[in-house]
Structure formats: structure tokens, C-alpha cells
Amino acid sequence: MKVFKFGGASVKSAEGVINLSKIISDKLEKGDIVVVSAMGKTTAGLEEMAFKVLAGNNQYVADFESIRIYHQEIVESLFGQQPEHVAVAGQIDELFDKLSFTLRAERTAGDRAFLDLVLSYGEILSTSIVAVYLQHQQMAVQWKDIRKYIRTDGQYGAARVDWVPTINGIQTGLASEDKIVVTQGYIASTSAGETTTLGKEGSDFTAAIIARACGAEGVTFWKDVPGVYNADPKSQPDATPYQMLSYRQVVEMTYYGAKVIHPKTMRPLAESGIPLHVRSFLEPELPGTMITGEAEEDDSSQMIFKHNQVLVSFKIINLEFISEHNIGLIFYTFDRLGIQTNIIQSSATSCTFAFDFDEDRLEKLLEALADKFSMYFNKGLTLATFGNVADEVIETYLAGTEVYLRQASRTKVRVLYKALQ
Ligand code: ADP
Ligand code: MG
């Protein structure tokens, strides 16, 4: 069986849903599973609304209305003239009534469980609309709530999968022998039945979890780009797509900051050798990129930019050398605060690290290590990773920037810089 995953951009409009239905009717059969994200920018909208609710800001009502109207309009264009329209519109209204009730219920400030529950509505709404539309197109389709099958711990916002019950649950409950299953990405639940989410962009990961549990023959991600490129094609127009990549190459690219596939996706696929195909829902006739265990090593050029970095330098206060003990202390603190370093450099009496800027974490870091180190930081930096790119070309990218740090290996040059206005 196969697993297809459609991201938010693919279902941002009624035309998107119609296009998805054509792809599915051409390529899937009973027993296959389709994972669908929230429509368009719904997750961001729900998040903004939930923050207003938590801050006691009544403006959230306007956000709620705009999310509701957005979905109603898609339902209207899909079913407006059809006899099913009343039933589908009623089903969507019911979901919005439930959401409205959730928003008005009692809760404590900073309630992460509340946030995840609100966010889950994006996927529930989108899959409900898509499933009914496919049924309406005479396809044998079954809607399923993935929260019954993917079990996680209670780390809301970035819950960790509990693999044994998850694999069991998917094998016994999710797969269907006589229908195509449509289900949600990104969301899951604890053993107590509380809704959790798998981290931003987590739908890619959901598709990999399902594929792994079912021993799928392959997974296809349908995106708004025709594959994985050697640079983000939206900001680098001359970027070119890869035909083949290995799991490891993709893991490296995501580490350097390529935002095309969720980093957690590759491990479950690699563990069971399931190929991942990345294709364009806009140009489904194009071949896309195949990701497997055995793509040959590649020496073509590659460019990845990771923005919004902060560089923190630690200088030992009492003129000791930087020792394993000191570095250990810094790493221990990073781990405790959930900071992931993107580049590291050390010298005799100092060491520097760059990571994704997060005000709260940075403050806690400075506080935790103040008695041992004097620390300096610089915000608003970009970390560029150039693979097999000629020095002259790198220099053109760095013209008019201030370089803070530069590292070179045999094939890669990594530069942390600030763009000057
Ligand atoms: P989805 O809708 O499936 O979640 P994403 O928006 O997460 O899709 O991923 C697709 C986007 O990733 C593209 O629109 C593209 O701008 C961006 N992107 C960043 N780096 C790359 C790359 N190296 N190759 C292809 N796309 C990339
Ligand atoms: Mg994504």
C-alpha cells in the first residue's frame, strides 16, 4: 500500500481540493492512506486566535469568523449546487460550534493543552471537507481520526511518539481493506485522550509514522515545488531539482536549514527502507525527487540559508582555558533549555555557538551561566551553507554583509553573517 501526503498549500482553495481528488483517483486504490494538512494558512490563524484567547483579548472573535468564512466558502464552491451541500455545511458548522465552545471554556493561563486542541481543528476541518468531497466523486473513502491511533507523551506542541501502541493502533485500526483512508497530519493524542501536536510542519512526520507502521511500499509528498532542490527555488530562481537523494543527504539538508521536509520524517522511513517521493501537485506529470537508502554521492552545488540566528560567545571569566568541563557545562545547559546549536567554534579562552533565536531561551541561557562566563550575543544573523560552490560565487552572496564566522571543510563552506542595510 501507499501513503500520500498533501500539505496546506495543496488544499488552500476549492480548486486545490478538486486537483487533489484528480491525483487520488488516478493513482490510489483501496487500502491506501492519504494524510492531509490544515487548509492554507489555517494553523497560523488558529494559533494567533488561541494566543488572543489566552491573553484575554476579545478580538479573537474576528479571527474565528474569518477562519469560519474561509472554510464555508470552500464548502460553498465545492458543493454549492449539489444536494449534499446542506449536510456538509451542517457538519462544518458543528465543528465550529465545538471550537467556539472550547474557546469559551475555563482554562489556566499558558495552557498548552488548550493550544494543541485549538490547533487540531485545522486538520479535522480540512480532512472532513476533503473526505466528503472524494465520496461525492464516487470514491470509496473512509475518514479517520488519527488521534485514536498515534499515541504521544504529554509534551504539548512537540509531543514525542510512543511507538509500540502507535504501530499497533495503526496496524489494527487505521488501515482499511476496502476503502481509501483520509486522515490528519500533525495531530495525535496522549493515552488519556488529550489532543497533542507533533511540532510545526509535523504532517510530513505523520505520513512517515503511518508508512512505517503499515510497511508501505512508498510515500509521496505532494508539494508546491516539483521536488527537493539544491536551494530554495522560491528565493533562488536558478535552483535545480535533484532526481535522487539518500535519506542521509536529506537529513543533512534539513540540519543546515532546508525547510522542505520535516527533519523527523527520515528516520522511520530509513529504518524500514521505505522510499519517499517528493512531487508537485501543480505539475504532477514531472518526475519529482526520489529519496531512498542508496542514492549515489553527489557533488553538485548546494546552498541553504538559515535565517534569524543568534550567535552567543562565552568567555571564561577567570582566564582559564576552555576545557572539556566548561564545554560540557554549556552543552548541558543547551540540552536542558532545548537549544539546538547550528554551528560551533572554539578558541583558547572562548567559544561561540549559533542557534535559532528565541528570546525566552536566550534569556534563560544568559542567566544560567552568568557566574562562570561573560557572554556576548548578536542577533539577526543568517547561517549560509554552501556545498561545492566556487569561492567567487560565495563572495557574491557575501558582498555587502558583515561576516561573523566562517568554517570550511573539503566540500562545504559555512558562513554566519549579517546583511547590512
Ligand atoms: P507542505 O505544504 O508539504 O508542508 P512546505 O511548505 O513545508 O510544504 O515545503 C515546500 C516549500 O519548501 C517550498 O514552497 C519551498 O519554498 C521550500 N523549500 C525550502 N528549501 C527547499 C529546497 N531545497 N527544495 C525545495 N523546496 C524548498
Ligand atoms: Mg511542510
Cα(2) to centroid of ligand 1, in Å?
22
The pLDDT value recorded for residue 46 is 97
Answer whether 362's CB lies under 8 Å from 377's CB: yes
Model confidence at 109: pLDDT above 70: no
**Is 194 buried (19+), middle (13-18) or exposed (0-12) by CB count in 10 A?**
middle
Report, as an integer, the average pLDDT of 150-163: 95
C-alpha distances (whole Å) from 265 to each of 124, 157, 199, 268, 376 are: 22, 17, 12, 7, 35
Show me where the domains of the chain are located.
Answer: 2-223, 302-419
State the Cα angle at 53 between 48 and 56, rounded to 5°.
130
CA distance 8 to 195: 20
The pLDDT value recorded for residue 326 is 86
Answer whether 368's CB lies under 8 Å from 314's CB: no
Backbone angles phi, psi at 3, to 5 degrees: -120, 130
State the alpha helices, DSSP H only, in 80-202. Answer: 85-104, 112-136, 163-169
The pLDDT value recorded for residue 346 is 85
Atom of ligand 1 nearest to the CA of 259: 19
Q: Which of 47-61, 220-234, 311-325, 336-350 has the lowest mean pLDDT?
A: 311-325
Answer whether 204's CB lies under 8 Å from 261's CB: yes
Report, as an integer, the average pLDDT of 298-313: 91
Q: What share of the chain in percent tops pLDDT 90?
A: 84
Q: Which of 131-140, 143-152, 323-332 has the lowest mean pLDDT?
A: 323-332
Which stretch of DSSP H or E encloses residue 143? strand 141-143
Backbone angles phi, psi at 175, to 5 degrees: -65, 145
C-beta of 207 in contact with ligand 1 (< 6 A): no
- More confident position, 106 or 64: 64
Answer whether 82's CB lies under 8 Å from 88's CB: no
The pLDDT value recorded for residue 24 is 97
The pLDDT value recorded for residue 348 is 81
* pLDDT digits 0-9 by tens, 379-407: 999 999 999 999 999 999 999 999 999 99
- Look at residues 131, 105, 128, 129 and name the one whose alpha carbon lies nearest to residue 118: 105
Contacts of residue 238, Cβ cutoff 8 Å, sequence gap at least 6: none
Backbone angles phi, psi at 309, to 5 degrees: -95, 150
Atom of ligand 1 nearest to the CA of 258: 20
- More confident position, 177 or 115: 115
Residue 326: count of CB within 10 angstroms of its CB: 19
Contacts of residue 6, Cβ cutoff 8 Å, sequence gap at least 6: 20, 34, 35, 36, 37, 222, 281
* pLDDT digits 0-9 by tens, 235-290: 999 999 999 999 999 999 999 999 899 989 999 999 999 999 999 999 999 999 99
CA distance 4 to 209: 12
Count CA atoms within 13 Å of residue 31 on its CB side: 8
Closest C-alpha residue for ligand 1 atom 17: 260
CA distance 332 to 313: 16
Q: What share of the chain in percent tops pLDDT 70?
A: 98
- More confident position, 410 or 66: 66
Cα(260) to centroid of ligand 1, in Å?
4
pTM over 0.85: yes
Give the distance, in angstroms, between the CA of residue 406 and the centroid of all CA atoms in the same chain: 28
Report, as an integer, the average pLDDT of 183-203: 95
Cα(7) to centroid of ligand 1, in Å?
10
For the 2-223 domain, the top CATH level (class) is alpha beta
Question: What mean pLDDT is reported for the chain?
Answer: 93
- Look at residues 161, 180, 146 and name the one whose alpha carbon lies nearest to residue 37: 146
Model confidence at 330: pLDDT above 70: yes
Give 110's pLDDT tier (boundaries 50, 70, 90).
Answer: low
CA distance 315 to 302: 34
Superfamily of domain 302-419: VC0802-like (3.30.2130.10)
C-beta of 7 in contact with ligand 1 (< 6 A): yes
HEC letters along 277-319: EEEECCCCCCCCEEEECCCCCCCCCEEEEEEEEEEEEEEECCC
Closest C-alpha residue for ligand 1 atom 2: 7
Of 39, 256, 260, the one to substitute when testing ligand 1's pocket (max ligand atoms within 8 A of C-beta) is 260
Residue with cell 562545504: 412
C-beta of 358 in contact with ligand 1 (< 6 A): no
Closest C-alpha residue for ligand 1 atom 25: 228
Atom of ligand 1 nearest to the CA of 241: 24
- The single-letter code of the amino acid at 262 is H
Closest C-alpha residue for ligand 1 atom 3: 7
Model confidence at 171: pLDDT above 80: yes
Residue with cell 455545511: 89
Contacts of residue 56, Cβ cutoff 8 Å, sequence gap at least 6: none
Please name which ligand lies nearest the alpha carbon of 252. 1
Question: Strands 218-223 and 180-184, how do they pair?
Answer: unpaired
CA distance 107 to 93: 24
Please name which ligand lies nearest the alpha carbon of 282. 1
Residue with cell 552543552: 331
CA distance 298 to 323: 37
Neighbours of ion ligand 2 (CB under 5 A): 201
HEC letters along 265-283: HHHHHHHCCCCEEEEECCC
Pull the grid cell for residue 264: 523527523
C-beta of 229 in contact with ligand 1 (< 6 A): yes
